[in-house]
Structure 1
Amino acid sequence: SGLEPMGLLWALQPRRPFWQLVKRDVQSPFVLQLEVLEGHTEPPGRLLAQAQHERAFLRDGVRRVPVRDGRIRATLFLPPGEDTFPGIIDIHGFGRGLFEYRASLLANHGFATLALAYYKYEDLPQKLTELHLEYFEEAVNYMLQHPQVKGPGVGLLGYSKGGEVSLAMAAFLKNITAVAALNSPVAVTSIPLCYKDKTIPSLTIYEQHIKVTDSNILDCSDIPIDAFQAPGNQSLIPIEKAEAQLLFIVGQDDHVVKSEYYATEICKLLQAQGKENFQILSYPGTGHCIEPPFFPLYPIGNHPVFHKQAVLGGEVRAYSKAQVHAWPQIQAFFQKYLNDK
C-alpha cells in the first residue's frame, strides 16, 4: 500500500532462486529496462510503454586506481580534485573477493576509499586457515602515506567478517579513528586471528544446532556458542582497547550473526569500563545483508562457512527502509570523526 517511488528497484526479485544482485563493474551503470504490458496474463500482453533507468556508481571526476602495493590487492577511489580527503578502508565478508560498489559510492560523497580484498582474488590465498592483521596493517599504512588521504587516522567500513576484522584492527592497530561495523561478530569466528605473537582462537560452532527447513535451506542462527558465556571469553576481540569511535549497525532478523545481541552486550562491557565511544543503529525486519539504498533484499543465500543455501533474514519493505536510513548515517559518522582531527 502507498506510493514507493523506488519500489521498482528494491522489490526486484531474481529470475533464478537465491541469486544476489551486486555490481561487479562500477565503471558502467546499472541499466534497468522498464516495460508496461497489457493485462496480467501469461504470456504477457502487448507492450504499452517502456523506459530505461540507469544508476551510476561513479560520478564525473572520481578516479578508480587499481592498487598492487606489496601484498595489498585493492582498488582506491579518489573524489574529484587535488585536495586531501578523509580515508576509509572498505572490507567485505567471507567469500567476496574484491567488490568495489560501496567504495565507489563513498568516493562520490568525498571519501578516499580503498576497496580491499583479502582472499579469493588474484594471487591472494584461495582459502584461509588463519587471518593475519599484518596484511590489513599494510593497507592502513598505504592509505596514510597517500598524498591525497587526510590523516592522522583512517575509517573502516566492514560487513560481517569484514566488520569482525575492522573491530580487531581498531583493537590492535594504530591510527584507526572510526569503525562502522555492519552485522559483525565481536568475537573471532571460523578461523583464528593472528597479530604478531598473539593468536585469538575462533569461536566454537555447534553444527548439530543447524536447523533445516522443508525446502532444505539451512538456518544457522543458533550454531555459535555465546561468546559472552564461553569459558574465559578467549575468542572475544578486546574491543575495550580500541580508541576509535564505533558504530554498530545491526539487523534484528540476522540469521547468520546474532549481531544485535553481540552489539548490545559489547557496548554494555564498554560502558562498564567508562567508555563512551560507541553507538548502535538497530533495524527491525532486516537480515544479515545491509547494502546501500535500493539494492534488492537477499534473504536466502550462500552461507559463508558451510557454503550451502541458508536463511540470511529480512523482510522486503523493512529492509529498504533500513538501507535508506543507515547509508547517510554511515556517511555522517565518518564525516564527523574523520574530519574532526
Structure 2
Amino acid sequence: LAFQVKGPGIGLLGFSLGADICLSMASYLKNISATVSINGSGFSGNKPIQYKQTCIPPLNHDFRRLKVAFSGLLDIVDIRNDVIGRHENPSMIPIEKAQGPILFIVGQDDHNWRSELYAQIASERLQAHGKEKPQILSYPGTGHNIEPPYFPLCPASVHKLLNKPIMWGGEPRAHARAQEDSWKQILTFFCKHLGGTQNIASPKL
C-alpha cells in the first residue's frame, strides 16, 4: 500500500468515541479538510464536550434499558437516552461548522449504539444548515468494530463503562467484506479531498 497526501489540509479518521473526537475537532479547529467517522455518534455521550467557552451537554444513558442476549452477553444498543429533537438536539456536535466534507461509515448490526440512525441525523443537520448531503456508507451484517482489512471480527469484549462483556455485533463474512470495502473508500475519500495520489497494491498474506 502506498498512500500520499500533501498539505496544507489535514485529514481525520476516527472510530467510535474517537470518531466523535474527530467530528469535534473538525467542527472547532481550522485546516481540517476531510473527516472520516467510523461508527461515531455525532453526540456528546457520557461526558460534556468542552472547547474554550463552549460546552456541549451529554446525552447520558439509562441502564434500565440494558438487554441480555441469549449468549449471556449484554446488549447496550438502547441504553443511550432518546435523541429528542434529532438534528436540533443540544447534545449534538455542531458538525455544520466543519470546513471539509465528512464521510460516515456505519455498521447496520452495530450493538454499541445506533450508528446508522446517528449518521442519518448528522446528514439532516448538515443539510438543514445549507451543507451538501454527506456520503454515508452503510454495511449490512457489520458490527461496531470496523477495522482495516483482515483484522478478525471482535464480536464481544469487556466494556470499560460497565466492566462486563458486551456484544458489538457483526456477522464474520459480511463484516470482513465491509472492512475491505470501507478501507478502499477511505483511501479514495482522502485522496480526493487532501490532494494526494493513490496506488493500492494487491494485498499479500
TM-score w.r.t. structure 2 length? Answer: 0.89
CA apart distance, 1:302: 2.1
Structure 1 residues 308 and 251: alpha-carbon distance in aligned structure 2, compared to 1, 3 A threshold: same
- After TM superposition, the runs of 4+ consecutive aligned structure 1 residues lying more than 6 A away are none
User: After superposition, what is the alpha-carbon deviation per residue over 1:259-308, rounded to whole angstroms, capped at 9, x for unaligned?
Assistant: 10000121022123321162100000000000111211111112242231
2:7 aligns to what SS in structure 1? strand
Judging changes above 3 Å, is the alpha-carbon distance between structure 1 residues 332 and 287 closer, same or farther for their aligned structure 2 residues? same
**Aligned residue number for residue 300 of structure 1:** 156
For 1:110, give the aligned amino acid: F
Instruction: Show the counterpart of 2:193.
Output: 337
- Does residue 109 (structure 1) correspond to residue 2 (structure 2)? The answer is yes
TM-score by length of 1: 0.54
> Which of 22, 31, 54 is matched with 1:175 structurally?
31
Partner of 1:110, secondary structure, is: strand
Report what 1:235 is aligned to: 91
Q: CA deviation at 1:177?
A: 0.4
In structure 1, list runs of 5 or more residues that go unmatched: 1-107, 113-149
**1:282 maps to 2:138:** yes
Q: Alpha carbons of 1:270 and 1:159: their partners in 2 closer, same or farther (altered >3 Å)? A: same
Residues 155 and 167 of structure 2 are in contact (CA less than 8 Å); yes or no, is this contact kept in structure 1?
yes
Kept after mapping to 2: 8 A contact 1:286/1:319: yes
- 1:44-193 equivalence runs, <5 A: 108-111=1-4, 150-193=6-49
1:191 aligned counterpart, secondary structure:
coil
Does the aligned pair in 2 maintain the 1:190–1:305 contact within 8 Å? Answer: no
**Size of the alignment, in residue pairs?**
195
Alignment partner, residue 146 of structure 1: none
Compared CA separation, residues 153 and 228, structure 1 to 2 (3 A): farther
Aligned equivalent of 1:254, options 110, 115, 134? 110
Q: Give the whole-Å Cα distance in 2 for the aligned partners of 1:328 and 1:307.
A: 34
What is the Cα-based RMSD across aligned positions, in Å?
1.7
- Higher radius of gyration, 1 or 2: 1
Partner residue, 1:326 = 182
1:222 aligns with 2:115: no
Contact 2:47/2:60 (8 A) holds in 1: no
Contact 1:227 1:236 in 2 (8 A): no
Taking every aligned residue pair, what percent have the same amino acid on both sides?
48
Determine helix, strand or coil for the equivalent of 2:3. Answer: coil
Rounded to whole Å, the distance in 2 between the matches of 1:331 and 1:156 is: 12
Distance 1:109 1:306, change over 3 A: farther
